[in-house]
Structure 1
Amino acid sequence: MSTTLAYPPDEPAVLEERRTVLVRSASHLTELGDTLASARTMALGDWSGITAQAADAAFKARIASAEDSASRLRSTAMAVEQYRAGVVAARAQIDELRARQNAIFAARADTDAAARAFVAAPTAEGVAGFLRSLARQTVLRREAANLASTYADVMQRVAEAAQTCTTALWEHGPGLTERARHLADQAGVRSPHEDPEPNGTSYPDGLGPMVPGTTIPMPEAPPWPDADPGAGEYNSESASPGDYLTHQAALGAATALQWKWPNASENLRHFLGNSGRPLEQDVDQMLVDLPGLSTRVASVQAQLSAKAVTQARAAGITEPVTFPVSTGWDGYYAEPDESTNWFYATGGFRYSLQGQITVHPPPSPGGEWTYEQTTTVSTYDRYNWDGGKSTQIFGRTVTDEQLAELHRAGIAQEYDLHGTSSPSTSKGSG
């Protein structure tokens, strides 16, 4: 059986394209830093006192952020270029191996033909030639085995180069984790993805049946709700030159704007990365950036605590009891005036609460009933483009429909957004 001498899966042209995007984005960020520095110089001339100090600090922070991002992008561009060079060298070696393999095939065909001819019509004069054919076949099999070993070494070097590039992307490349995951998959350094969809159960009023004691296992969120219809069937149409132009414009903008809208940037890059894998969201940061969501969560927590105390009191308990908490999926929309970052990152999404509420009866008749509540907030959304919005990307208007077309064209892919907050604990009386 012959060894198939396939090229490494990454195309040098595509890697060069990615490197160019990174270099261009780094250049944009450098220009942004220079522009901010110039604006700082002009602005501070008209300000004084505390205002000037605050403005100066804000400008310096933005300039430092732009410079740091530009430096990181240059590092990742260099890492991609080094990996590309490794792929190019590997392809050249594989071309040489293919030529050797073809020569071995031809030589084996000749020796096989000579051996078959002797067997069909043996002669005394042909014995020596037959023995030489057998010896040549042994040599050729050994050469074929050495060729396969050399090919394995070449591909191992490519895998090691992919792992090195992966490390650089994870450590120095803001928002490039999807590319890093792809390379890591190739290098065999990641375990296969497992679907993270929860499998819990929600309770009609958010509270499950009370149980004696002060602790219970943490409930799991209910299965994700039905998603929006999205753009349609993935990879159902052919990609046009305009689709590739939109893809590159969106990728460049997402990379350049990661310092301004970090979550929106990461989510768009994940979509353009075309893996379709679910992506975890920072729900703790959502609760900070979206005060309306925090207010709603606090309201639900207060209502659940009041219900728990009312049910425990009605049951006439004399020892602490605990209620599991798992609410259904409710909706929330991140408006741009609340957070532009989350407006572009997710827009409308669903949220649900899980946890427990422990109710303590009063220590003496007529005393206060108290409770302790520990809950987390889970979120879910389907990242897709089925709205009517448009965005300016490097002076070019890109619409939801154009981005949706990338999904149908198979060069980007919709996916599930999900996340769970850190536990929040509160106490009270009722």
Structure 2
Amino acid sequence: MNNYIFTRVSTAIIISILITSLSFAQNWHIQNSNTIKELEGIHMITSTEGWICGDDGVMLHTTNSGDTWTVSTLTSSDLNQIVFKDASNGIVVGDDGEIFTTTNGGTNWILKNSGTNTDFNGAAYAGNSTYFAVGDTGVAFKSTDNGNTWISLNTSTVQELHSVAAIDQNVWIGARNGLMLFSSNGGTTFASMSNPASDDIKDIQFIDASTGFACGSNSFFMFTSDGGTNWVSRSSGIQHELDGLHFVNQSIGWVVGDAGNLYSTTNAGLNWIAEQSQTIQDLNSIHSFDGINVWGVGEFGVIITNYSSPSGIDLENNIAFNYNLEQNYPNPFNPSTTIWFSIPASGFISLKVYNTLGVEVKTLVNQVLSAGSYSIEFNADGLNSGVLFYTLSSNNFKYTRKMILTK
């Protein structure tokens, strides 16, 4: 082994790694999504059950807080937002005007006729069986029968609409170039709403008819306590573009954005804590059911959470109960980085590194291993700077992560 060192991880080393990685404001880690598709939206319908939608129609479902995610494909179009009104009834919207509904907690999804082929970007539940969906070229639609039938709304704009929030008859829409639309009559008419944003408003949420939050490009976050009549910028401490937010009450919330950036607040954005998300992938959406356990999703199938799973590695016996491939550290790196992985049973294991063309550039592991947790040092001497992918494979498991070599 010329360019790497392959070692069985000792209990002491694992404990040291965990203490180091969990010494931040919140303890975040990555869950195995079993996909490399970009994940766009997430909604936890209970404290343990949740749904994720993403590119190429991918859908992920968990009933055990993300210890395992089941992957399925609903359509060939990208799915951009998923919203549930309760544990049984929900919708998912996506490109090509596609809207799917479920009445049995996602066991079955039914494609509805939206009346458009325009891409949908966002959706919201307003109460009283009413949903709203918004998309490109100013498209907005409304359903008053749990998503079964849809009517077109006149927004008087052709701007791309990114996000929507709704409370009863009040509807707020975030759009490109700082445009925000508001309706007080359930979408019958819309008017533009003054706000301090000068770039795209990527996500918007209202806790009640008065308290709302919005975020987007140019690292901005803003807050209102009067239904949007006045918006106040609260972006101090945020340094990256934001794509998603979620608040559980008038004070506590999270925002996510480019390059794995994750921030939390306990005072409605007056102060922000930069969390260690454990990823450098762009994060698109974040959600929590109970305000305690939180999940975020993004590109290359990344799922982050602060949920502490009872499964995983038994430190005393150094036994792994699940397959797991961790994000390498450091990342970006030059020239060496360490990769950790776990296997629950003895078997033939392959760990290989590929370039962006899919060409194998290094075989790190290609042998039978016993159950346990392992680390391997990868030395990239002789390789050019750029993105690399590493894939862990066994007879019944395959997972890929991205790393960046900088020289």
TM-score if structure 1 supplies the norm length? Answer: 0.19
The higher radius of gyration belongs to: 1
Higher relative contact order (CA 8 A, sep 6+): 1
Of Structure 1 and Structure 2, which has the larger fraction of its residues in helix?
1
